[in-house]
Each structure stands twice: as C-alpha cells, then as structure tokens.
C-alpha cells in the first residue's frame, strides 16, 4: 500500500522538531526546513540547497508540500492581474493584484466557493466546497507578491480578504494564514496593511475583538436598513443590523481599530438620500470610514450601477455629516476581476 504523505506545512515548528529527530536528523534541521517553507516560500524540497541530497530525498519520501499553482493568469488594460489558482485537490480559487499608483494590493480568497448566496455576487452563486488551509492563503499572497514585482516593479503593500468566501466562517485557517504572512518567520508584512472583510458574522466579529487582532476589519454592508439588507444578503436574517452594530462597537472597544463600511451603490435600490441617512445613522455609532463601491455586473440583470451623479450626491451627503467617505472606482472589469465578479470562469 502506498504511503500517504503528510503536508509538511501543516506542522508547527514545535511539531516538526520531534519528527526530524525521529528521522535521525539533528534538531536544528527542523528550523532550517521551517524557514525554507515560510520565510523563503519554497515549494519543493529540491530548493532547500543548504540540506544534503540525502535529507532532501528523505523529506520527499515522507512529506509533501501542497503548494498552490497559477493555472491561468489574465492581465487587465488597467494593469490589474487576475489569477486562477489550482489547489492540491484540483479545486480552484481566484485572487487579484490591484495596482493603484504606488499601492499594490493583493485580494485573496478564503474558501472554495461561498455559502452566503448574496444576490449581487458571482461567488455567491457557487456552492461552497471547502475552506482554504492556512498555507493556501499564504501561497496566494506569495504568487501575487511576485506578480507585483515582476509586472510592476513594486513591492506588495496591502492585502484584502475580499476574494471568494466568507473569511470569518474559516476563522482558524484565516487567522493562521495571517500569522504566517505577518510573522518575522514568514513574510513579515505589517498587520496594519491587512484588511479582513466580512458579510457580517456578529459572533465572530466579537471573537476578533477578544483575540485582539491587529489587522483591519471591513463590513460588507450595502444596505443600512434590515428591510433592504434582507433582500440582498441572506446572512442579515440571522445577523440583524442592531446585533451587527453592537458587535462592531465591541470590536472597536477591544482593538481600537476603526471599521470600514463597504457599500455598493445599486441604481434605484439603495442610492437615495434617505438611504444615505440610514447609512449615517448606522455608522455614527462607531469610528469608521465608508467606501462607496461601483456595482460590477455579473450578467444576471438583477442590478445596475448607480449613475456617477447619484454616487457623488450620496458621497456629498455623508461627507456633510462629517463622515470619511471614498468612492472606489472599479478595476479589472474587462477580465471579471472587479469586486463581486470572482467566479472561476473558464
């Protein structure tokens, strides 16, 4: 019977050390390999050139590295790059490099598909197949970081968990992936440059506060009345706005991190000044900033983007109330890489 190899990246350094001793290796070899895996992002044992050939063969015979590969890459007219990542079990997820001046942002996925079925999102029409592991989240960042360097000659500056899936429904692996991305033993990126976006899982927002996270939190809001939010986001049925608001205040009081509210402005749905007033009333209870986002069509005809004039009027109203409001123009539309469009299209 063929030996089933374990993914070596599923072990902590503390767990690897006795495994190496059991293979007749000195203790420090475990640390060397761990550094290759997480600091140098090695994707096969042959890259580990300061190990003997015999040890590399031993590792190859006993372990595997379930690395993520880029199965397809598309480059937009505006420099945005969308990657279709293939996982070890032949599933796919998508990630995006978003260039904006000196800012280079990686948009990464946390699940294969999504279970939330938000009506305006292409990923929401897919079945959720499984959660991503921490190393699969890490690998997406490594690939997109390399694309920033190779295509744009710039370092990756930011990471947003706004790709496929709901990060807070894969809490353990997302947190472990961020630890590897921010750790000095990993990629060493600052937690303040990472934003995790949630559709609104109140219980897990509070857990983020209890865990004292240092990264940023964004809420995909898109409507600031329960009546309207119920129509477009099923999650609102079990996470009403008053409950969400309370969880966000809890998070802020625990971490001191200002919340970002993401609000897609749909034509003739949530684009009136009355809707803007609802958003003001919801957002005034916690330190925040607001991103108004253009709607990106997913081809079902259910929604249209509000006009520029409507979006600008919406922004001016909120700004007049003293809120920090930014209009985010879509990037990568021509390759279906914009917000809400990730769907593993062939």
Collect all residues with Cβ–Cβ distance below 8 Å to 338 and sequence separation of at least 6.
294, 296, 330, 331, 332
- The whole model's pTM is what? 0.93
Average pLDDT over residues 137-144: 98
Which domains, from first to last, does the chain contain? 6-64 (1.10.150.530), 69-335 (3.20.20.70)
What's residue 337's pLDDT? 56
Judge contact between 173 and 134, C-beta under 8 A: yes
For the stretch 20-70, pLDDT in tens is: 999 899 999 999 999 999 999 999 999 999 999 999 999 999 999 999 999
CA distance 186 to 179: 8
For the stretch 188-234, pLDDT in tens is: 999 999 999 999 999 999 999 999 999 999 999 999 999 999 999 99
pLDDT at 2 over 80: no
Structure-token pair, residue 127:
């079945």
Which of 46, 47, 94, 179 is catalytic? The answer is: 94
- Annotation says 339 is catalytic: yes
Judge contact between 35 and 50, C-beta under 8 A: no
Backbone torsion region of residue 294, taken as left when φ is above 0, otherwise alpha when ψ lies between -120 and 50, otherwise beta: beta
Average pLDDT over residues 81-107: 95
Average pLDDT over residues 104-111: 97
CA distance 35 to 185: 7
Q: Which of 117, 110, 115, 78 is nearest to 95 (CA)?
A: 110
What's residue 1's pLDDT? 45
DSSP conformation class of 266? B
What's residue 336's pLDDT? 63
For the stretch 313-338, pLDDT in tens is: 999 999 999 999 999 876 666 656 55
What's residue 330's pLDDT? 67
Average pLDDT over residues 5-24: 94
Cα of first residue to Cα of last residue in the chain, in angstroms, is 37
Judge contact between 109 and 174, C-beta under 8 A: no
Which of 47, 118, 339, 346 is catalytic? The answer is: 339
- Annotation says 114 is catalytic: no
For the stretch 175-186, pLDDT in tens is: 999 999 999 999
> Does an H or E element contain 320, and which?
helix 308-320
Judge contact between 280 and 314, C-beta under 8 A: no
Q: Which residue has the higher pLDDT, 40 or 344?
A: 40
């Amino acid at each position: 019977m063929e030996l089933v190899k374990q993914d070596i990246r599923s072990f902590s350094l503390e767990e690897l050390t006795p495994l190496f001793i059991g293979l007749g290796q000195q203790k420090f070899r475990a640390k060397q390999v761990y550094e290759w895996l997480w600091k140098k992002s090695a994707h096969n044992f042959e890259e580990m050139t300061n190990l003997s050939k015999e040890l590399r063969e031993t590792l190859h015979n006993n372990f595997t590295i379930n690395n993520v590969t880029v199965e397809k890459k598309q480059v937009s007219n505006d420099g945005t790059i969308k990657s279709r990542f293939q996982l070890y079990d032949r599933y796919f997820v998508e990630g995006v490099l978003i260039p904006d001046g000196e800012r280079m942002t990686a948009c990464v996925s946390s699940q294969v598909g999504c279970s939330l079925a938000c009506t305006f999102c292409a990923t929401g029409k897919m079945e959720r197949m499984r959660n991503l592991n921490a190393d699969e989240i890490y690998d997406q960042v490594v690939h997109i970081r390399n694309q920033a360097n190779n295509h744009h000659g710039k370092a990756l500056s930011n990471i947003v968990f706004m790709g496929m899936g709901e990060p807070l429904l894969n809490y353990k692996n997302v947190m472990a992936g961020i630890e590897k991305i921010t750790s000095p033993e990993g990629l060493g990126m600052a937690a303040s440059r990472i934003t995790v976006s949630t559709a609104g899982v109140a219980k897990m927002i509070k857990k983020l506060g209890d865990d004292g996270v240092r990264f940023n939190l964004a809420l995909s809001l898109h409507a600031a009345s329960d009546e309207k939010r119920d129509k477009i986001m099923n999650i609102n049925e079990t996470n009403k706005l008053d409950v969400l608001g309370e969880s966000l205040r809890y998070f802020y009081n625990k971490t001191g991190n200002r919340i970002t509210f993401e609000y897609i402005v749909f034509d003739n749905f949530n684009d009136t000044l009355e809707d803007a007033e609802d958003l003001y009333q919801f957002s005034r209870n916690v330190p925040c900033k607001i991103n108004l986002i253009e709607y990106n069509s997913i081809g079902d005809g259910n929604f249209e983007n509000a006009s520029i004039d409507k979006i600008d009027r919406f922004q001016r109203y909120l700004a007049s109330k003293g809120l920090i409001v930014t209009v985010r123009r879509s990037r990568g539309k021509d390759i279906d890489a914009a917000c809400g469009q990730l769907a593993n299209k062939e």
